[in-house]
A and B are shown apart, each in its own frame.
Chain A
Amino acid sequence: MLEVRNLSKSFGGLQAVSDVSLDVPEGSIVGLLGPNGAGKTTCFTMIAGFTKPNAGSVTFEGKDITGLPPHQICARGMIRTFQIVQPFAGLTVQENIAVGAYLHHHERQEAMALARDVGKRLGMGNMLDRPASSLTIAGRKRLELARALATGAKLLLLDEVMAGLIPSEINEIVGIIRQIREEGHTFLMIEHVMQAVMSLAETAYVLNQGKLIAHGPPRDLVKDASVVEAYLGHGAAARLQDEHHA
Chain B
Amino acid sequence: MKLQSAGQIALVVAACAYLLSVYLMSSPVWIGFTINALIVAIIALSWNITGGFGGMSSFGHAALYGTGAYASAILQVQFGVNAWIAFGFGIIAGAAMGGFIGALAFRYGLKGSYFALVTLAFAEVLRICASSFAITGGGSGLQLRLDPGVGTLQFPDRTVFYTILLVVVALVMLLTLLIKKSRFGAYLVAIRENEDAARALGIDTYKIKVQAMVISGAFGGLAGALYLQLFLFIDSTVVYGSAVSIEALIGPIIGGAGTVWGPLIGTLGLHLLSEGAKHLLPNAPGLNFVLYAIVLICAVRLLPRGLMGLAALFGTFNSRKDDDHA
Which residues from chain A sit less than 8 Å from chain B, CB to CB?
48, 50, 69-71, 74-75, 79-82, 86-92, 94-95, 98-100, 102-103, 106-108, 111-112, 128-129, 147-148, 151
Contacts and interface: CB of A to CB of B under 8 A. Distances in A.
A129 B320 contact: yes
A88 B189 contact: yes
Contacts of B186: 95, 98-99, 102, 108, 111
Contacts of A50: 196, 199-200
Interface of B: 181-183, 186-187, 189-190, 192-194, 196-205, 320, 322-323
A70 B198 CA distance: 10
Contacts of B201: 74, 79, 99-100, 103, 147-148, 151
B322 A128 contact: yes
Given A81-B200, A88-B189, A91-B193, 5 more contacts: A70-B200, A71-B203, A71-B204, A74-B201, A88-B193
A151 B214 CA distance: 27
Nearest to A109: B323
A102 B200 contact: no
Nearest to A74: B202
23 contacts: A50-B199, A69-B204, A70-B200, A71-B204, A82-B196, A86-B196, A87-B197, A88-B193, A88-B194, A90-B193, A95-B323, A99-B198, A99-B203, A100-B201, A102-B183, A102-B186, A103-B201, A103-B202, A108-B186, A108-B323, A111-B183, A111-B186, A148-B200
B197 A90 contact: no
A112 B185 CA distance: 14
Contact of A75 (B182, B199, B202): B202
A70 B199 contact: yes
A197 B299 CA distance: 50
A82 B204 contact: no
B167 to A, nearest CB: 26
B200 A82 contact: yes
A50 B197 CA distance: 11
User: Which of A74, A89, A102, A151 has the largest number of chain B CB atoms within 10 A?
Assistant: A102
Contacts of B197: 82, 86-88, 147
A108 B189 CA distance: 14
Contacts of A112: 323
Contacts of B189: 88, 90-91
B187 A102 contact: yes
Nearest to A77: B202
Contacts of A129: 320, 322
A32 B319 CA distance: 46
B80 to A, nearest CB: 44
